[in-house]
Structure 1
Amino acid sequence: MTGLKVEHVSHRYGRTQALDDITLDIKNGEFVAILGPSGCGKTTLLRVVGGFLRPDEGVVTFRDRIYSSSNVYVPVEQRDLGMVFQSFALWPHMTVRHHVEFPLRSPRHKGISKEEKQAAVNRTLEAVGLVGLQHRLPGELSGGQRQRVSLARAIVSKPSILLMDEPLSALDQELRVEMRREIQDIHRLTGATIIYVTHDQGEALAMADRIVIMKDGRIEQMGTPRDVYLHPRTSFAAGFVSKCNFVRGTWVGEHFLANEDPSLVYNGASVADIFREMEVYPVRPEQFHLSTGDRGLEGEIANKQYNGREIHYSVLCQGGMFTVYAGGFEEYRIGDSVRLVFEETAWEQQRRAV
């Protein structure tokens, strides 16, 4: 059975083109993260899939049933999906249990007995760790607990599609990491197709089976987390999914010669054509090694941020600012002259092998 298909979908807000000819084919049970900056169209795409917006052009189908097209529109409540919002969207007068029970009151579930509904609510509360809190009101819960209520409400009816619109953005960093694991557990438990909208590349890399990078209403690149990280296809994708430094130089066949030192030869067999056209070589911050020797690109430490196991350095190099991640014990001071050494490590060998 086919999964969710978005075919040549476009949508405009007045004169603004929010979506421009978007095509996606998402498998049943796949976890797809839609990643991009504010205003790129990712939430509009989610709302079109959910039925909150009708596309101006294109077709949305799920398991061969048309959800949206030029002459067909299936209302939100008749689509087999659940939704987790950026805000928790909880009613202050309803208990945790009442929130989870609410979706089962829909006419879609009128054929389910009261006992079966209660059993579904009990299973869901247990799955998200809320059994002991089921009689509390939202005002008596922490941020993480409120988000669990939102998740439970979305999955209690076992939807085939689960739409998530930046569900962790209101939480602090520690809770965000914890909730990532919760969402992964829910994905494994339910087997639902998840479409997860975020501007946080760390969330997308950590959880998704595939990442769709969007920019200006169009798809910039899509692939597995490993693929989009190791093989960026555009300069935007390279810079948005983690940092990427662009070393200037000259391409000679499959090899790249850095401007400052032609003896620095980088293997470029796996580098996208766009970077060849730009006469640059993309280097991730962890690929550079800082040294005081006589090899590598000349640089000067402009800033440093201590992060425990890592130190993040900003280095003036080639007339611009490069980012370098060094080990927590590789101490340099602001103003120090350094060399940026790029070696073909096991990391780079892996990139060429993928």
Structure 2
Amino acid sequence: MAELIISSVRKSFGETEVLKGIDISVPSGTFVSLLGASGCGKSTLLRCIAGLETTSGGSITVGGQDVTDLAPEKRGLSMMFQSYALFPHMTVLDNVRFPLRMQGKRYGNRAKQKELAKQALDQVRMGDFASRLPRELSGGQQQRVALARAIAGEPRVLLLDEPLSNLDARLREEMQVELIELQRVLGLTTVFVTHDQDEAMSLSDQVVLMRDGVVEQAGTPEELYRRPRTPFAADFLGAANLLDVSVEIDNSRATAVLAGGHTVPVRASNSGAATLVLRQEKVRIGDRLSTDDSVVTATVVSRVFRGGEVQYLVEYQGAMLRVVANGESMLSAGDQVELSWSSSDALVLS
């Protein structure tokens, strides 16, 4: 494992600048997710780290070594793609051994390569399938083989490009647990690309949220969720209700003026136009806990039952808000409801 430092990395395709000066530091042994929507540049950045794309500027350092201009096979990195890319005519063992064999003396003779391949298969619980062909495996098993191939060479940094996206929901959750356990055991510095916010938050030590080729915000999952710096970050990481407000401050008391002139207390230090961020789980329906709570009246638009909870879409002064209630809630479209929240749960972004 090794520390990965990305400094002012830029990448252009023709006149289109895809990466606009990326600065990221990945401490040794940590799991970092590059999160963002399609086209934000996260996969391009991963390919630049791997050496599959040349950078247009900046530098990439692995374990103190500048690898910016090195060939992919000389960087000591390993990459697992969204497609498992297993050779159909090779056994599981030979698929895992293939990259070791291609690098020749670096991984010893045939016997040593087999030993490393078998060890990697055991680590992903696929040792009993070494003699099978890929077509004899399930999707989840093929995913494990691809992961074993990625870790067999004991890379300094493991790069993962949306490796779980082809799995069904339940298997994806199981593989998330196995992946993070394996990463912790091996102590691998890992960079994981995903567009799935839940995946990023459940797996990562650090999350790097990207937007249009730049880093929107980086930090722990808790930091990004609880203290987003921009409305985009608040909305992308977790279900958030965003309301345009005007903040007024009088004698150190801040209030936000909502649509229709209704005012609610907030915590803010600057007056003027702002965005009020309300997480859906922090907004209560008809359950005012304190006389200091903010309260507004809204209309139920739709109801979605999700087992232990019900998600409502409600309208307040033309704005659509998402609110969750316990699974016993039986409100219907058209019902008038009171929404309440604590001022400490309302975040103001200027």
What TM-score results when the alignment is normalised by the length of structure 1?
Answer: 0.89
Structure 1 contact 78–108 (Cα < 8 Å) conserved: no
The 3-state SS of whatever aligns with 1:170 is coil
Distance in 2 between residues matched to 1:17 and 1:249, nearest whole Å: 34
Partner of 1:283: 278
Structure 2 contact 255–266 (Cα < 8 Å) conserved: yes
Report the CA distance between 1:173 and its aligned residue: 0.7
Report the CA distance between 1:160 and its aligned residue: 1.1
Partner of 1:48: 48
Alignment of 1:97-246 (within 5 A): 97-107=93-103, 109-110=105-106, 112-246=108-242
Unaligned 5+ residue runs, structure 2? Answer: none
- Cα 1:191–1:254 change in 2 (3 A) is farther
Structure 2 contact 283–341 (Cα < 8 Å) conserved: yes
Distance in 2 between residues matched to 1:42 and 1:137, nearest whole Å: 33
Partner of 2:91: 95
What is the letter of the counterpart of residue 157 of structure 2?
A: I
Distance in 2 between residues matched to 1:66 and 1:137, nearest whole Å: 39
The 3-state SS of whatever aligns with 2:67 is strand
The 3-state SS of whatever aligns with 1:32 is strand
Structure 2 contact 77–159 (Cα < 8 Å) conserved: yes
Distance in 2 between residues matched to 1:245 and 1:344, nearest whole Å: 14
Structure 1 contact 249–256 (Cα < 8 Å) conserved: no
Structure 1 contact 256–281 (Cα < 8 Å) conserved: no
What is the letter of the counterpart of residue 278 of structure 2?
A: V
Partner of 2:340: 341
Unaligned 5+ residue runs, structure 1? Answer: none
The 3-state SS of whatever aligns with 2:234 is helix
Report the CA distance between 1:179 and its aligned residue: 0.8
Greater mean deviation of Cα atoms: 103-112 or 223-232: 103-112
What is the letter of the counterpart of residue 60 of structure 1?
A: I
The 3-state SS of whatever aligns with 1:296 is strand
| % identical equivalent positions | 36
Structure 1 contact 292–337 (Cα < 8 Å) conserved: no
Distance in 2 between residues matched to 1:173 and 1:2, nearest whole Å: 32
What is the letter of the counterpart of residue 201 of structure 2?
A: L
What is the letter of the counterpart of residue 215 of structure 1?
A: R
What is the letter of the counterpart of residue 342 of structure 2?
A: E
Q: Does 1:83 find its partner at 2:82?
A: no
What TM-score results when the alignment is normalised by the length of structure 2?
Answer: 0.90
Distance in 2 between residues matched to 1:59 and 1:263, nearest whole Å: 50
- Cα 1:297–1:113 change in 2 (3 A) is same
- Cα 1:277–1:250 change in 2 (3 A) is closer
Partner of 1:7: 7
Report the CA distance between 1:241 and its aligned residue: 0.7
Report the CA distance between 1:258 and its aligned residue: 4.6
Q: Provide, for residues 22-62 of structure 1, a one-character-per-residue CA deviation record: whole Å limited to 9, x for no partner.
A: 11111111111000000000000000000001111111111
Distance in 1 between residues matched to 2:139 and 2:194, nearest whole Å: 18
Structure 2 contact 156–188 (Cα < 8 Å) conserved: yes
Structure 2 contact 2–157 (Cα < 8 Å) conserved: no
Distance in 1 between residues matched to 2:188 and 2:279, nearest whole Å: 34
Partner of 2:297: 298
Distance in 2 between residues matched to 1:115 and 1:140, nearest whole Å: 25
What is the letter of the counterpart of residue 242 of structure 1?
A: G
Distance in 2 between residues matched to 1:7 and 1:241, nearest whole Å: 25
Q: Provide, for residues 168-203 of structure 1, a one-character-per-residue CA deviation record: whole Å limited to 9, x for no partner.
A: 111111111011011101211221111100000000
Q: Provide, for residues 286-321 of structure 1, a one-character-per-residue CA deviation record: whole Å limited to 9, x for no partner.
A: 010011889722211111211111211111113111
The 3-state SS of whatever aligns with 2:223 is helix
Q: Does 1:265 find its partner at 2:265?
A: yes
Q: Provide, for residues 53-99 of structure 1, a one-character-per-residue CA deviation record: whole Å limited to 9, x for no partner.
A: 1111111111221111xxxx100011111111011111111111111
- Cα 1:230–1:277 change in 2 (3 A) is farther
Structure 1 contact 248–318 (Cα < 8 Å) conserved: no
- Cα 1:135–1:108 change in 2 (3 A) is closer
What is the letter of the counterpart of residue 142 of structure 1?
A: S
